[in-house]
Amino acid sequence: MGETTTPVIVHAGAGMGAGVMRSMFWMAWEATVHDSNWIRQHPKFCVRTTIHHAFGYGALFGSYQGIRQCLILSDPLLPILDNVLPNQKQDEKARAVTYAQWCPFLYSFVSGGMAGQIHHILSHYTGHWKQFRSNIPPPPRLYPTMTSFGTMALCFAAFEHGPEAVDEMLSYVNTLMKGSY
């Protein structure tokens, strides 16, 4: 698909940074709501919370980019589109347009959903550790794990492709408004 990609480790590092920032904002909020000594009274919990969020977001961003790059490189949708769109096999230009429109979106959607599930599962276990529990928790329940696919799939697809869609929509509206005067 001809796009340049940054290494997965860069995305994981950015996710870890986002997790640390989320944790810092959360601690500032807790200190504001409870009292300013709250962080000093709970230092181990604060450190574990920061690690929990850093690993969770690092896994979310890193796995998203890793899965997306694997999908882009392996390009599994090409044979499927050949079978689903048999009428467009003859018209290479129409097939190429359909492919260019749908494959990047679908790869972002699937990658985001799978990354959301990885994040959900990892956060389940690190959240247990964050609470100073020594035993290993049971696996996360299936329903929340499955629903995390849809929410994160939509979020990542909107993040990757939303600006293009909004830009196209605004261009269309602008064209309509110019024509109506």
pLDDT in tens, 87-137: 555 566 666 666 667 788 889 999 999 999 999 999 988 887 777 777 788
Q: What is the pLDDT of residue 96?
A: 63
Q: Token pair for residue 21?
A: 């920032």
Q: What is the pLDDT of residue 174?
A: 81
Contacts of 73 (CB under 8 A, 6+ apart): none
Helical H segments across the chain, by residue range:
8-33, 38-41, 43-74, 77-84, 92-130, 142-180
Q: What is the pLDDT of residue 22?
A: 92
Q: Which residue has the higher pLDDT, 116 or 45?
A: 116
Q: What does the alpha-carbon distance between residue 28 and residue 116 come to, in Å, rounded to a whole number?
A: 26
State pLDDT tens for residues 125-171.
Answer: 888 777 777 778 888 899 989 999 999 999 999 998 888 878 878 88
Rounded to the nearest angstrom, the gap between the alpha carbon of residue 129 and the centroid of all alpha carbons in its chain is: 24
